Structure 1
Amino acid sequence: MTAAAHDERHALLEELGLLRTRRRELEESLVADDHPPHDFGERGETTERRDEIDWIDRRIRDVAHYLWEAGRPGEDTSERVGLYSTVKLRFPDGSSESVQVTRFPDEDVPVVTPESPLGRALLGAQPGDEITWTAPEGRLRARVERVDRPA
């Protein structure tokens, strides 16, 4: 595992711990307030806590998936895009660009996060696939030319 991969895995594990702690705090606050809300303010607070718990549950699921993906690079010999992959894209105008799917910047290659529209479109793609995503300038598309997975 590269130093960047190790740092990213550590950051994900730390985030997962923080998310679980926050979720537990919110659950405990809902249990402590087990009486039915009496006014709109109390109902609003309860709704906000439940919404935050829902968001945390989704984020925990995503982080757990990223950790699972992070543990696979040495075992996965497929050419599918995963976390830490560097991908060469070819655009319809003939231009090309290489990007890396990660959370940490790299001076040599532009980075896209797995949560970004392009990152979501790339995850799981393989050479030859056409991908599309929404960007501020509209709907974009590109062909995956090459996928380099970390060693």
Structure 2
Amino acid sequence: MTGLPEPISPAARTALEQELATLRTERETVAATLRGTDADSPGDLADQADELQRATEAARLDSRIAVIEARLAQAAAAAPPAPGVVGVGSTVTVRFSDGATRSVHLGEIADAADNALVTADSPLGRALLGHGAGETVSYRTPGGPASAVVVSVGAPPAPA
């Protein structure tokens, strides 16, 4: 991203809030199965391995919960990008070095149903953030360096 707090679209906020609720429910379920026993307690190795696996899962859930909470807090403190500047939620028309022009929607959460979506953490998405029409952006692809010219920047599409 640009290093500054980035706003998120209402759809992305809803998706993150739903994921957070699901993760918290999963975490409660895992926490209820943790015994909190110490390593010196009797029990077979299978019980200890299961306990370790549940503790590892709890740590994974805690980590993802913390990431989502931080992202939601950061987004709440962010102002939307200035008009004409690419930010999360912008619709951007870009012209690639081969001459092809494409309009993309810069989003935060991948959506298989949105063929025009470019995530903000993808190489192209990161390159576009903070730029405006007429600027050339450079980014790296698995095939090597690439560049594109920002043709135009539009506002986020209206909610359906």
**Bin of the TM-score, shorter chain as denominator length:** 0.5 to 0.7
State the superposition RMSD in angstroms. Answer: 3.5
Asked whether the equivalents of residues 20 and 65 of structure 2 are also in contact (C-alpha less than 8 Å), the reply is no
**Distance in 2 of aligned mates of 1:148 and 1:66:** 20
**2:139 aligned to which of 117, 120, 132:** 132
Q: Given residue 36 of structure 2, which amino acid in structure 1 is its aligned partner?
A: D
Asked whether the equivalents of residues 100 and 110 of structure 1 are also in contact (C-alpha less than 8 Å), the reply is yes
**1:89 aligned to which of 90, 94, 112:** 94
Following TM superposition, where does structure 1 have runs of at least 4 consecutive aligned residues deviating by more than 6 angstroms? none
Per the normalisation by structure 2, the TM-score is 0.59
Question: Which residue pairs with 1:49 in the alignment?
Answer: 58
Q: Given residue 117 of structure 2, which amino acid in structure 1 is its aligned partner?
A: V
Following superposition, the deviation at residue 50 of structure 1 comes to 1.0
Percent of aligned positions that are identical: 31
Asked whether the equivalents of residues 83 and 114 of structure 1 are also in contact (C-alpha less than 8 Å), the reply is yes
Question: Which residue pairs with 1:13 in the alignment?
Answer: 17
Aligned length: 137
Deviations along 1:30-63, one digit per CA (max 9) or x if unpaired, are 8x43223565613343223212321332233335
**Distance in 2 of aligned mates of 1:67 and 1:11:** 15
Give the secondary-structure state (helix, strand or coil) at the position aligned to 1:80: coil
Q: Which has the larger radius of gyration?
A: 2
Following superposition, the deviation at residue 66 of structure 1 comes to 5.3
- Asked which structure has the greater RCO (Cα within 8 Å, sep 6+), the reply is 2
Question: Which residue pairs with 1:118 in the alignment?
Answer: 124
Asked whether the equivalents of residues 93 and 153 of structure 2 are also in contact (C-alpha less than 8 Å), the reply is yes
Deviations along 1:50-89, one digit per CA (max 9) or x if unpaired, are 12321332233335545666xx55xx43433223210111
Per the normalisation by structure 1, the TM-score is 0.62
Q: Given residue 99 of structure 1, which amino acid in structure 2 is its aligned partner?
A: V
